[in-house]
Chain A
Amino acid sequence: MPPQTAGAMTSDSPPSHPKLWLDAVNEWFTTVDHKRIGMLYIGYALVFLLIAGLEAVVMRIQLAVPNNHFVSPQVFNRMFTMHGTTMVFFVGMPILFGFGNYLIPLMIGARDMAFPRLNAFSFWISAFGGLLLYFSFIGGDGLYGAGTAPDVGWFAYAPLTAKLFSPGHSTDYWILGVFLSGIGSVGTALNIVTTIVCMRCKGMTMARMPLLPWLYLVTSAMVFIAIGPLTAAQMMLGFDRFLGAHFFDVQAGGSAVLWMHFFWIFGHPEVYILVLPAFAFANEIIPVFSRKPIFGYSAMVGATVLIGFISLGVWAHHMFTVGLGPAGNTFFTLATMIISVPTGIKIFNWLATLWGGKIRFATPMIFSIAFLFQFLIAGLTGIMLSAAPFDWQLGNSYFVVAHFHYVLVGAILYMIFAAFYYWFPKMSGRMLSETLGKWHFWLFTIGFHLTFDFMHVPGLMGMPRRIYTYEADRGWAAWNMIESIGMIFQAAAILIFVWNVVRSYRHGEEAGPDPWDAWTLEWSTASPPPHYNFAEEPVVHSRRPLWDLKHPQAPDSDYE
C-alpha cells in the first residue's frame, strides 16, 4: 500500500476515483478554512446581488412611465423594501466580509483567522438571516393572512412597523433576518480585529501592515459600535410587536423619533462600514497598476481612523426634516461637513499615487479609475445634502436616492468589481477574460450613468422616493424613462460578468502566483493558495515585501 498523503486521509474512497459530489458539498458546509468561508461569503452575496438586482429591475419597469400598472402598489413597496434590505445586509456586508476573510490572513502572513469556528458560525448565521428574510415571501402571511414580504422600507420607520399598521409576520421576518445577520457581522468583526492584532507574521509591525488590513481593522471596530444599537432597536421592536411593549408605540406615549435615532446611529456608520473596504481595495489596486507605492501611507491610515470616529457623530443628518431644532440641525451640518476633510485627503492621495506613475489599464484599474470620479461626485452631492436647508428640499427625494446609489454602486460596487477582477486569479488560479471584462465595464458604466446621473434631476424637480407611480404633469417622465433604459445596460453587463466568471473558472488563462506583478504577501504563494497558505511563515521588512524581493538593490525598507 502506498504511503497516504495528507489529502487522501480526508476521504475513504481510493484516490483514483472521482470525489463524490456529496463529499464536496460536505466539505464546503463544514469548512473552517478562511479562504473557503471567504468564497462562501462572496458566492452568497453574488446570489443575493442578482436577486436584489431583479427587484430593482421590477421597480425601474414600473417607474418607466407615469401611472404605470406593471405591478401593484403593494408589490412595489415590497420590492424597494427587499431591495434595500438585501443590498445592505445580504450583499454589501457579506461580500466585503468575504474579501476580508479571504485576504487578511494572506496579506498579513497568517495561516487562518484567529477563530476559525467562530468564522464558520458567523457566516452560517448571517446566511440563515438572509434565508429567513426571503422566507417571508412564503411565510409572511402568518395567521392573519396579510402581507407577504415586508413593505416597511429598509429603515422601517416606526410606527409603520407596529402590529396595527403592519399585520401578519412579514415585519417579524425582517426583524429576525436583520438581527441574525447582525450577530454574524459582530462575530466576523471580532475575528478580523483579533486576527489583525495577534496574527501578523514576523517583522510586520502595524506601520508595515498593508492598508487593506488597516481599513478592515477600522471598519470592524465600527461594526462593534454600530451593530449594537441596530440589534437593540430590533429587539425593542420585537418586544413591541410580541410582548406589548411601548418603545415605539406612539398611541401609548412611545416615540417614533427614538427609532430613527437608533436606526441611523447604526445606519450612517454602516455606510462607512461598507465604503471603507471599497477604499481598502482601491488602496491595493491603484498603486499596483500605477507602479508606485501608495502616496501618504500614514495620512491614509490617519484619515481612515478619523472617518471612523467622525462617522459615529453624523447620524442625524438623516433626520434634518424631523424637527430637531436649529441647534441639532447646525451641529449635524457641521459634523457632516467635517467628515469630507479626511475623505478628501483619501481622494487626493489616490490622485497623487497616479501622478508620475505608469498607469496600466487592466480591468481592475479601469473600474478603480471610474470609482475615483464617481466617488468624487458622490462626495460632492453629499456636501450639498449636508447643508441642512438644502436637505429640507432634497431629503427623501430622488436626489438622495441618486446620491447614495452613487456611493453604493458608483463607489462600492465598482470597487467590488475591481477587487473581483484583481483577486479572482488568486482564488481560482485562472484569469478572468480581459475582453469580457472591458465589455462588462463599458456596458455597466454607460448604464450606471444613464440611470443614476439622470436620477438626480427628478429629485430636484420634487419627486419623492418610494412612490410606486407618479403624476404625468410633473415633468418627471422623460428622466425616469432614461433611468429605466440605463437599467437594461446594467443588467446586460451583469450577465456578461456572470458569464465571464463561469467561463473563466473552467477555461481561463492560468494565472500563476503573481499575475499583476504586485507587492503584498498574498501574491507570494500559489494560486489558489494551499490550505495552509504559506509553506514557511513569511518574514517582512517593509510594507511591500514582494517589492523588496524583486528589487534587492533598492528595497522599500531603506526608504520608509
Chain B
Amino acid sequence: MSFALFLALHDMDDMPAGHAMTEMQTHESWWRRAIQWVTDLFSTPTSIFSPQATPAHTIFSLSMLVLAITLAIFLAVAGLMLYAIIRFRHRAGDSNADPTQVYGSNQIEVLWTVIPILILVVLFLSTARVISVTEQARKPANALDVVVIGHQYWWEYSYPALGVVTANELHLPASDPKAPTPTYMTMSSADVDHSFWVPNLAGKMDLIPNKVNVMWIDPHKPGLYLGQCAQYCGTQHAKMLIRVYVDSPADFAKWIAHQKMAAENDPAAAEGRLAFEHTACVNCHTVTGTSAKGRFGPDLTHLASRDTIASGAIRNTPQNLRQWLDDPNSMKPGSLMPKMNLSSHELDAITAYMVSLR
C-alpha cells in the first residue's frame, strides 16, 4: 500500500511546481510527510529510486512490485513469529510439564509449499517480462552508437559514426520519450573487468576484456548524471567515477562539432607543446594534430573542455593539473600515470599547454 503511494508521489515530482502547494500543505497528514521524507532521502544523485531513462524506469517499477510483495511476506511471517514468541513463552507461574507434543501435519506442509509457489509465479513472470523488454528491445535506426572501453582507472568513449574520441565525461543527446533516440553502448575492457553503473539511467553492465556487451539508455532530461565503476578493478577502483552529460539535441550537435576539431594550437602555449611532444607523454596520450598518438591513457585533444580530470576524481583547474602532472600518485595513489620528473619550469609550460586544449 505505502509503496503504491510512494510510486504515486514519485510521479508527482514531474508535475508543474506550485500545483499542490496551498491547501495540501496545511492539511498534510503525518504519513504523507513520512513518505515525503523517505522520497527526499532517496533523491540523491545516484539513487536507483529516481529513474531518468526507460531502463531505470522499468527496473524501478519492477522493484516496487518486488518490494511490496516481500514487505507483505515479511509482515505476515514476522508477525506470526512475534505472536508465537509472546503467546507461547514460558511464564513465571507456569507448570514445568511439557506442552502437547506435535510432530507435524502434511496438510499444513502442502499449504505452505503451494502458496509460496503461487507468489513466485507472479514474481517470475513480471521479472521475465522486464528482462525481455530491456535486453531484447529493437534498436531503432536513429540510435546513437558509443563504444565504451574500461581502463584501469578511467573510461574511454568513442563515437565511431561521428569520428569523436573522448575520455571520462560522456556526452549524450536527451531522448524524447515520444520519438526516442536511444544510445547503444558497446562495451569492453582493455585490461581487467569493470562495470558501468549510472543508477539514474540504467542497471549496470560489466566491461570484460575479450568480450563485448551492449546496453542502451535513453535519458529523458538534460543534466549531469553520476555513477562509478561497480566491479572491483584494482587499487583505484573507488576513483573510477562516471559523469554522463545529457545535452539537448542541439547542444549535443554543438559538442560533437567542437570535439571533431583538431586540437587548439595556441602560440602562447608553444613552449609547453614542445615540452609535451618531447617527453614520454606522447607514448600514452593522443592530441589530434600533433605527434602525440598514444592510446594507453586518455585522449587529451579537448582536455580543457572537461570539468574534471583523473576520471572524475579531481576538478579540472590549472593548479590541480599542475599537481597532477608533477606527481599523479600524490592525488590518486595507484594511478598508472608515472611521475615524469618534470622541472618546475616544464610543469608550468605543460600545464599552460593543457589549459589551452579547449
Contact = CB atoms under 8 A, between A and B. Distances in A.
Interface residues of B, number: 87
B70 A461 contact: no
B348 to A, nearest CB: 28
Nearest to B212: A323
A74 B234 CA distance: 9
Nearest to A157: B193
Nearest to A300: B104
Interface in A288-329: 290-293, 295-299, 321-323, 325-326, 329
B270 interface: no
B154 interface: no
Nearest to B152: A165
Contacts of A253: 210
B44 A257 contact: no
A393 B98 contact: no
A394 B128 CA distance: 17
Q: Which of A360, A397, A464 has most B Cβ within 10 Å? A: A464
B195 A372 contact: no
A464 B230 contact: yes
Nearest to A320: B203
Interface in A440-466: 460-466
Interface string B51-83: 000001011001100110110011001101100
Given A326-B135, A326-B136, A462-B197, A395 B204 contact: yes
A470 interface: yes
Interface stretch (A122-130, A219-227, A344-352, A481-489): A344-352
A83 to B, nearest CB: 13
Interface in A338-384: 338, 340-341, 344-345, 347-349, 351-352, 354-361, 369, 372-373, 376-377, 380-381, 383-384
Given A159-B209, A393-B199, A475 B45 contact: yes
B208 A322 contact: yes
Contacts of B42: 460-461
A295 to B, nearest CB: 5
Contact of A474 (B45, B63, B113, B236): B45
B142 interface: no
A388 B88 CA distance: 40
A46 interface: no
Contacts of A293: 101-103
B238 interface: yes
A392 B237 contact: no
Contacts of B44: 461-462, 474-476
A353 to B, nearest CB: 9
B66 A390 contact: yes
A118 interface: no
Given A165-B191, A299-B109, A333-B128, A323 B208 contact: yes
B69 to A, nearest CB: 8
A373 B213 contact: no
Interface string A166-196: 0000000000000000000000000000000
A323 B228 contact: no
B23 to A, nearest CB: 31
B102 A292 contact: yes
A360 to B, nearest CB: 5
A74 B237 CA distance: 11
Interface residues of A, number: 94
Nearest to A249: B210
Interface stretch (B115-123, B244-252, B259-267, B283-291): B115-123
Given A254-B210, A292-B101, A326-B136, A361 B89 contact: yes
A330 B48 contact: no
A551 to B, nearest CB: 8
A337 interface: yes
B333 interface: yes
B2 interface: no
B180 interface: no
A454 to B, nearest CB: 12
Contacts of B204: 321, 392-393, 395-396
B286 to A, nearest CB: 22
9 contacts: A73-B238, A323-B213, A348-B112, A354-B84, A356-B99, A383-B66, A396-B230, A464-B228, A474-B45
Q: Which 7 A-B pairs have the closest CB atoms?
A: A392-B203, A462-B46, A475-B44, A467-B238, A323-B213, A296-B104, A250-B209
Interface of B: 42, 44-49, 56, 58-59, 62-63, 66-67, 69-70, 73-74, 77-78, 80-81, 84-85, 88-90, 94, 98-105, 108-109, 112-113, 116-117, 120, 123-124, 127-128, 130-132, 134-136, 152, 191-193, 195, 197, 199, 202-206, 208-211, 213-214, 226-238, 241, 333-334
Interface of A: 72-74, 77, 151, 153, 157, 159-160, 165, 250-251, 253-257, 290-293, 295-299, 321-323, 325-326, 329-330, 333-334, 337-338, 340-341, 344-345, 347-349, 351-352, 354-361, 369, 372-373, 376-377, 380-381, 383-384, 387-397, 460-471, 473-476, 554, 556, 559-560
Given A256-B208, A396-B197, A463-B46, 16 more contacts: A73-B238, A74-B235, A159-B191, A165-B191, A296-B104, A322-B213, A326-B136, A355-B84, A359-B84, A376-B74, A383-B70, A387-B123, A390-B59, A462-B48, A464-B195, A466-B237
